[in-house]
Amino acid sequence: MRQKPTVLAREIVASSRLFRVEELQLRFANGVERTYERLVGKGAGYGAVMIVALVDAEHVLLVEEYCAGTDDYQLSLPKGLIEPGEDVLAAANRELKEEAGFGARRLELLTELSLSPGYMSQKIQVVLARDLYPESLPGDEPEPLGVERVNLREITSLVQHPQFSEGRALAALYLARDLLTQRGDFLPGERP
């Protein structure tokens, strides 16, 4: 196992409502020193959830919302922040209700993903939601989100969709599809 670099200094060099930019002065085991910058979240950082919500044995829900980073409407999986004191699975069910208008009777934590570990400390918990039922909660979105159903057997073609570009969502979909296939949870004749 490699030895992590020694932190010589750290300083917040910029701050916004959502993020802080932290500058790190590091010395590596071989004596080389470098300055790194990374985005760190504000506050205690309770994390976030992303939900792969199965409508049936092969279809999942995507939501369409405005994304300031790309200045466009994008399709992705429902996701959001975990509230202080909230369990990961409870947060996933709440976000699913807020963003897609469904709750889930069965929730399972699949994995944790990062977006860009070289520059960001944030991670997201991927949750599989099954046995859905209609239920809505008010969320913090400025406008209602569009909701679409996509077939897990068509993930490859989804990558070609001009409104679908989030790598974490793509990884979560492949993970869920492969897990369901391994478990035999697709309907007979409906395996991807």
Is 90 exceeded by the pLDDT of residue 70?
Answer: no
* Claim to verify: residue 93 and residue 162 sit in the same structural domain: yes
* Claim to verify: residue 11 and residue 75 sit in the same structural domain: no
| Averaged pLDDT score across all residues of the chain | 89
What integer pLDDT is reported at residue 57 of this predicted model?
Answer: 87
**Is 189 domain-assigned?**
no
Q: Which residue would you say has higher pLDDT here, 179 or 41?
A: 179
Token pair recorded at residue 18: 């959502």
Q: Which residue would you say has higher pLDDT here, 118 or 26?
A: 26
Q: Contact, 153 vs 174, CB < 8 A?
A: no
Other CB atoms within 10 Å distance of the CB of residue 133:
9
Other CB atoms within 10 Å distance of the CB of residue 102:
20
Determine if residue 140 is left, alpha or beta; phi over 0 gives left, psi from -120 to 50 gives alpha, anything else beta: alpha
Question: Within its chain, how far is the Cα of 75 from the centroid?
Answer: 13
Over residues 83-125, the pLDDT tens digits come to 989 999 999 999 999 999 999 999 999 999 987 787 777 889 9
Is 60 exceeded by the pLDDT of residue 38?
Answer: yes
The span from the CA of 36 to the CA of 103, in Å, is 42
- Give every CB contact of residue 157 below 8 A, 6+ residues apart in sequence: none
For the chain, give the longest Cα–Cα distance: 59
* Claim to verify: residue 13 and residue 71 sit in the same structural domain: no
Host domain of residue 121 = 47-183
The CATH number linked to 151 is 3.90.79.10
* Claim to verify: residue 64 and residue 156 sit in the same structural domain: yes
**Residue listed under structure tokens 């969320």:** 139
* Claim to verify: residue 81 and residue 108 sit in the same structural domain: yes
**Is 87 domain-assigned?**
yes
* Claim to verify: residue 51 and residue 92 sit in the same structural domain: yes
* SS3 label, residue 191: coil
Q: Contact, 161 vs 45, CB < 8 A?
A: no
Q: What mean pLDDT is predicted for residues 170-183?
A: 92
**Is 72 domain-assigned?**
yes
Q: Which of 11-15, 47-51, 117-121 has the lowest mean pLDDT?
A: 117-121
Q: pLDDT band for position 186 (50/70/90)?
A: low
If one counts the domains in the chain, the total is 2
Partners of 25 in beta bridges: 9, 35
* Claim to verify: residue 35 and residue 61 sit in the same structural domain: no
DSSP-derived letter for residue 14 is E
* Claim to verify: residue 104 and residue 14 sit in the same structural domain: no
Token pair recorded at residue 49: 């959830």
* Claim to verify: residue 71 and residue 30 sit in the same structural domain: no
What integer pLDDT is reported at residue 189 of this predicted model?
Answer: 45
Predicted model pTM: 0.84
